[in-house]
Amino acid sequence: MNATTRIERRKSTSYQIFKKTLLAMPNYSYILLSLFIVVCFAIFFTSSLDYKGKVALIVFVIAMILWIATKLPAGYVALGAILSIILLKGADASLLYDSFSLEIVWLMIGAFIIGEVIKVSGLANRIITNIMKNSATSNSVLFHVLIALLPLSIFIPSTSGRAAITLPVVKELAPFIQDDKHKQVLAMFVPTIILMTTSATLIGAGSHLIGVEILEKTTGETITYLNWLIWGVPFAIFISFVSYLAVRLLWMRGKSTPLLSLTKKHSIFTKNEKITEKEKKALIFIGTLFLLWVTEGIHGHDIGFITIMGALVFMSPKFGLLSWKQGVKSVSWNLILFVSAATALGINLVETGVVDWIESSIFQFVTSFSNFSVWGMLCFILLVSITSHLYITSHTTRAIVLVPGLLMLGTSFGFNGIAVLFLSLVGMNYCLTFPVSSKALLVYFEEEKISYKAKDLMRLSFLLMPIYFISILLFYYTYWDWTGLTL
């Protein structure tokens, strides 16, 4: 009798918890949950996809929802999705093992090590501090920060890495700025420029590398480091200066204040005036690496191989700048696991025929509009990509979720896959509305000594978002068109 009572109580308690959870859900959650169930059933019962294709698509949809709607670690979700596909016999175990054989994985490992070299050698601080010493007012500080950050985007691959490297210098500079509001503006301005310069290079963000990997698997085409540099650098410089003017217009128009005395006794200015041996060695290494990147078409080795080779040289005993332990520790293995698993998910969609199925079915009604203009396609790509940060907070996740669909839609109309990918990724690089939209923004937002207000970031975004949209249109019909980037 007592056992029965305990069982009944447990059932009652479980029911109450389940009921309370359901009642606590917002109304739109019921709609999304119902829609998700309908979509999964529709996929499962379709006759035009085989079993492996159904498993790949359903698991991908589940992973996408978990990435967007939950706080679960992105790498955990991606790795769990890969394992689920294998458990359900939707793919062989090689799907998991081969995910670490992708070029993007090794490129990112090498890129993290190179970023650590730039930090340890003192080059990053030298670039920034030397320019800061020429700043006399709060307005000039912003301008010189802008100039300092532009070259960093070419050599330091991660936006969060650039934020982490610049934060200590900005924290030491902040006490010299008298106006508290201008300190907040500086804390917001630095990650803003870091994000705006992301489009400069192929290694500027993990999403670029993932996008190129998907492009190669989907169309067989690619974007070289040099091509991206030619298209990306002018746009990055232009939109960065536009952002500088926007910040000046909103917060610092006619309000520039002189800085306090910049004594050389302060730690930020106690750097050795002469370039050190470490810095010379780092410059030679990175310069050589840069030349190998841009001459990829000549020597035939891809940038992933070149980058990891350079990283190994940087960590060589006695001759290098890092120890093996320092180099390995500098790698964000959480991000590496996510990128490898998430990219494998995207590639699995191609290999199981899901990509072809989506193109022939879901987008079939769109392809009937044979007169769909380039202007319409361009505006659609930009609208989706620029606003994607509002509902997909992770930069890398945005590429995983949106790039395959945009590529399929573009190729359905016969548009150039390279142009579709480049424009999509440049659009996705805009992520200024919320602090959670980028790790670079979070680095400064969560800092206690110098931070900014979320409402100020939103105010800046409302001004810059339409300008960013128009700037891409302007570049597409001028510079990019002249250099061969057309839909």
Q: What residue ranges do the domains of the chain occupy?
A: 123-275+353-482
- Quote the pLDDT of residue 18: 46
Exposed, middle or buried: residue 276 (CB in 10 Å: 0-12, 13-18, 19+)? Answer: middle
Between the CA of residue 237 and those of 132, 200, 204, 253, what are the distances in Å?
Answer: 19, 8, 14, 22
For residue 137, give the 3-state DSSP assignment. Answer: strand
- Quote the pLDDT of residue 69: 67
Measured at the CA of 29, the angle between CA 26 and CA 34, to 5 degrees, comes to 145
Q: How far apart are CA 227 and CA 233, in angstroms?
A: 10
CB 222 within 8 A of CB 191: no
Q: How far apart are CA 208 and CA 228, in angstroms?
A: 10
- Quote the pLDDT of residue 265: 41
Q: How far apart are CA 331 and CA 290, in angstroms?
A: 20
Report residue 122 as tokens: 């003192």
For residue 258, give the 3-state DSSP assignment. Answer: strand
The DSSP code sequence of 420-474 is: HHHHHHHHHT---SSGGG-HHHHHHHT-SSS---HHHHHHHHHHHHHHHHHHHHH
Measured at the CA of 394, the angle between CA 392 and CA 398, to 5 degrees, comes to 60
- Quote the pLDDT of residue 88: 87
Which one-letter amino acid corresponds to residue 304? G
- Quote the pLDDT of residue 170: 74
- Quote the pLDDT of residue 128: 63
Q: How far apart are CA 141 and CA 391, in angstroms?
A: 34
Q: Nearest-CA neighbor of 473 among 442, 417, 427, 430?
A: 427
- Quote the pLDDT of residue 16: 55
CB 236 within 8 A of CB 205: no
Q: How far apart are CA 114 and CA 120, in angstroms?
A: 10
- Quote the pLDDT of residue 42: 64
Q: Nearest-CA neighbor of 165 among 182, 145, 137?
A: 145
Report residue 64 as tokens: 């996408």
pLDDT in 10s for each residue of the chain, 487 residues: 455 555 555 555 545 554 554 444 455 455 655 666 666 666 666 666 788 888 888 888 888 777 666 677 777 888 888 898 899 888 888 888 887 877 767 877 887 787 778 778 877 677 666 766 666 565 677 787 888 788 777 766 667 667 766 776 777 677 777 667 777 888 888 889 989 988 888 877 778 888 888 888 777 788 888 888 899 999 999 999 999 999 888 877 665 555 555 444 455 555 556 777 788 888 888 888 878 877 766 777 777 788 888 888 888 887 778 888 888 888 878 777 877 887 788 778 777 877 667 656 655 555 555 556 778 788 888 888 898 887 676 677 778 778 887 887 777 777 888 888 999 999 999 988 887 677 778 777 766 667 788 788 888 888 999 999 999 999 999 999 898 888 7
DSSP annotation of 188 reads H
For residue 275, give the 3-state DSSP assignment. Answer: coil
Q: How many helices and strands (H and E) does the chain possess?
A: 25, 0
Describe the crossing of helices 333-351 and 206-219 by its angle, rounded to 10 degrees: 20
Residues in the chain: 487
- Measure CA 168 to chain center: 22
Q: Nearest-CA neighbor of 423 among 377, 375, 382, 484?
A: 382
Q: Nearest-CA neighbor of 108 among 234, 213, 252, 215?
A: 213
- Quote the pLDDT of residue 479: 92
For 256, the enclosing helix (H) or strand (E) is: none
- Quote the pLDDT of residue 366: 56
Which residues does residue 255 pair with via DSSP β-bridges, in sequence order?
none
- List of residues 6+ apart from 100 with CB closer than 8 A: 340
- Quote the pLDDT of residue 263: 46
Q: How many CA atoms lie within 13 A of 424 on its CB side?
A: 32
CB 75 within 8 A of CB 335: yes
Q: Which residue, chain included where needed, has tokens 């955990």? A: 76
- Quote the pLDDT of residue 390: 78
Q: How far apart are CA 468 and CA 430, in angstroms?
A: 8
Buried b (16+ CB within 10 A) or exposed e, 247-270: bbeebbeeebeebeebeeeeebee
CB 396 within 8 A of CB 158: no
Describe the crossing of helices 180-196 and 138-155 by its angle, rounded to 10 degrees: 30
Q: How far apart are CA 485 and CA 400, in angstroms?
A: 23
- Quote the pLDDT of residue 297: 67
Q: How far apart are CA 169 and CA 171, in angstroms?
A: 5
Measured at the CA of 28, the angle between CA 25 and CA 29, to 5 degrees, comes to 45
What pTM was computed for the model?
0.68
